Amino acid sequence: MASTSADYNPDDKDPCIELVLEDSDETRACGFPHKFTVSYMITLHREIVQTDFRVINTSDASFDFTAALHSYFEVAGIDKAEVTGLAGLTYFDKVPDPNNPATKTETSEALTISGETDRVYTSAPSEVMLNVGTGAGIQIQTEGWDDCVVWNPWTTMESCYRDFVCVENAKASEMVTLAPQDSWRARADFSVVDLI
């Protein structure tokens, strides 16, 4: 953790936490031999959770990477959940073969989950909504995240698949190439809205 703040009174700044990861023996042992810094800042601004994700190339050579937030959201039953904002988008369906995903087009206005789901939607819009099945939705607004991943493991995780949907902001369909001393940034804001 790099820094935190706390909102003790209305005049203080918004509560915030910044997590920082830098290259180390461990990151190099995991197969990423480059020098870098990643900063992930999470701020609570009124009723909105704001996130700011930055990757900084601190080396003297370019490198490529992908990134994703891996956001898991509780739902009131997988049969009640639906994701809107993805209609008409191209996606990679990774369920049949993760190493050679099928390219498809989303035809549903509201995506429902009725089996194992692992999809990478490309050219995702700046706003996607997850209806959690209670009359409320999670509004996800983004900047810089080009893809949206929707994932649910279905019965491969029998004990919990009915209770969550992963709707994650990602840069996954194409790698980011980052020049030496350059940086890449993406933001995502999450808020609960009334759908009734």
Cβ–Cβ under 8 Å, residues 172 and 149: yes
**Nearest-angstrom CA–CA distance, 170 and 140:** 12
Average pLDDT of the segment spanning 173-181: 97
- First-to-last CA distance in the chain? 39
> How many domains does the chain fold into?
1
Residue 172 clears pLDDT 90, i.e. is over it: yes
- Report the pLDDT value the prediction gives residue 6, as an integer from 0 to 100: 57
The lowest-confidence range among 5-9, 21-25, 78-82, 147-151 is 5-9
Residue 24 sits in a domain of what CATH number? 2.70.98.10
Radius of gyration of the chain (CA): 18
Say if residue 179 is exposed, middle or buried (CB neighbours under 10 Å; 0-12, 13-18, 19+).
Answer: exposed
Q: How do residues 1-16 score in pLDDT, each as one tens digit? A: 566 565 555 566 799 9
- Report the pLDDT value the prediction gives residue 5, as an integer from 0 to 100: 62
**Nearest-angstrom CA–CA distance, 167 and 73:** 7
Mean per-residue pLDDT over the chain, rounded = 95
Could you list the residue range(s) of the whole structural domain that residue 140 is in? 3-194
Enter the pTM of the model.
0.90
Q: Give me the numbers of helices (H) and strands (E) for the chain, helices first please.
A: 1, 16
- Report the pLDDT value the prediction gives residue 102, as an integer from 0 to 100: 97
Residue 152, phi then psi, degrees to nearest 5: -150, 130
Cβ–Cβ under 8 Å, residues 113 and 71: no
